[in-house]
């Protein structure tokens, strides 16, 4: 019986191939699957997706983005999101940036196209990945989240600014405010005004940058969680304050935290209502997320609880 069934499956597969029907691979737990035709892809990006075997009918989607010089599969292997997906039943999209920035491939957060909703480049490619995942795997449109490290943290802020109707919340590790980079020449460390250590705009200026990215939008904005190490010199710790100013202004909140605490030794947290929270990690360099931080981000998203 097993031999006959296997032969029948092989025959059906062959007939479908002859007919020109190509079935997309089904992702399973412990398997990272690459998707090659996921829709409009002006950033020429690669997409990998991790779909656990056990999940609800409409699982949440987390877009998890690597740092410069990294890749989607590298961030899959080096972060805790996939193991947590197995536990909590959400889907993880791992985009791979293809734009060279002088020291490896980074997500485009500098071009004019990337600063306008629907303008093109990497943000449009990432939204295509989300749409594909919703259609292919039944992902819940009301529970889409963004997170990332360094370049991926920068792109997290980017996606929340450009597509507030797509993303419910985001967690940016070692990022910069949206529209911090003037252009491609401003991106590499060493000659960047954004990451040079002296970037200082007013909350109103930062907030206006977000509002101008999607003119006329009046709907809800995604909640924002921000993380930075106090000893980070590559993306200076001072930029955490600029991010805070940007998102509190977008929400119309005071610059004064509504509460402060230390959830773990060395983790100092400031909350601004329930919309924005910022973690200062004492003594940490350009090394986030470290152990346990992915789970805290997921709790903030509402996917899990501590």
List the domain boundaries for the chain: 28-301
- Eight-state DSSP code of residue 25: P
CB count, 10 Å around CB of 19?
8
Among 211, 208, 206, CA closest to 226: 206
CB 161 within 8 A of CB 118: no
The pLDDT profile of the chain, 306 residues, written as one tens digit per residue, is 433 433 433 433 333 333 333 334 444 445 899 999 999 999 999 999 999 998 989 999 999 999 999 999 999 999 999 999 999 999 999 999 999 877 789 999 999 999 999 999 999 999 999 999 999 999 999 999 999 999 999 999 999 999 999 999 999 999 999 999 999 999 988 789 999 999 999 999 999 999 999 999 999 999 999 999 999 999 999 999 999 999 999 999 999 999 999 999 999 999 999 999 999 999 999 999 999 999 999 999 999 854
CB 305: neighbour CB atoms within 10 A?
8
Position 183 scores a pLDDT of 94
Residue 300's pLDDT is 97
b/e code 170-207 from CB counts within 10 Å (16+ = b): bbbbbbbbbbbbeeeeebebeebebbeeebebebeebb
Q: How far is CA 18 from CA 14, 21, 22, 86, in A?
A: 6, 7, 9, 36
- What pLDDT, on the 0 to 100 scale, is given for residue 190? 79
Q: Which two tokens stand for residue 62?
A: 């987390």
Q: How far apart are CA 243 and CA 78, in angstroms?
A: 25
pLDDT of residue 14: 37
d(CA 44, CA 46): 7
Give the Cβ contact number of residue 212 at 10 Å.
12
pLDDT the model gives residue 189? 82
Which residues contact residue 123 at a Cβ distance below 8 angstroms, ignoring those fewer than 6 apart? Answer: 43, 108, 114, 117, 155, 158, 159, 162, 163
Of the CATH numbers 3.20.20.150, 3.40.140.10, 1.10.3720.10, 3.40.50.1820, which one belongs to the domain with range 28-301? 3.40.50.1820
Q: Tell me which residues are annotated as active site.
A: 150
């Amino acid at each position: 019986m097993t031999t006959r069934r296997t032969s029948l499956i092989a025959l059906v597969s062959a007939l479908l191939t002859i007919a020109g029907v190509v079935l997309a691979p089904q992702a399973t737990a412990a398997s990272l699957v690459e998707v090659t035709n996921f829709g409009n892809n002006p950033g020429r990006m690669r997409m990998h997706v991790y779909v656990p075997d056990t999940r609800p009918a409409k699982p949440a989607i987390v877009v998890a983005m690597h740092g410069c010089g990294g890749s989607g599969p590298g961030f899959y292997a080096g972060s805790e999101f996939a193991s947590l997906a197995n536990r909590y039943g959400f889907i993880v999209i791992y985009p791979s940036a293809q734009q060279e920035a002088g020291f490896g491939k980074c997500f485009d957060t500098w071009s004019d196209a990337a600063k306008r909703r629907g303008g093109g480049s990497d943000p449009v490619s990432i939204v295509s990945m989300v749409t594909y995942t919703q259609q292919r795997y039944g992902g819940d449109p009301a529970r889409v989240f963004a997170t990332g490290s360094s370049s991926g943290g920068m792109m997290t802020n980017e996606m929340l600014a450009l597509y507030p109707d797509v993303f419910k919340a985001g967690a940016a590790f070692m990022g910069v405010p949206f529209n911090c980079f003037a252009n491609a020449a401003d991106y590499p460390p060493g000659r960047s005004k954004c990451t040079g250590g002296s970037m200082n705009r007013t909350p109103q200026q930062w907030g206006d940058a977000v509002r101008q990215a999607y003119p006329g939008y009046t709907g809800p904005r995604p909640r924002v969680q921000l993380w930075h190490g106090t000893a980070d010199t590559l993306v200076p710790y001072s930029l955490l304050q600029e991010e805070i100013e940007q998102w509190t202004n977008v929400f119309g909140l005071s610059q004064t935290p509504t509460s402060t605490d230390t959830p773990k030794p060395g983790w100092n947290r400031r909350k601004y209502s329930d919309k924005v929270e910022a973690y200062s990690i004492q003594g940490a360099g350009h090394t986030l997320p470290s152990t346990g931080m992915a789970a805290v981000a997921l709790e903030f998203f509402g996917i899990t609880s501590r």
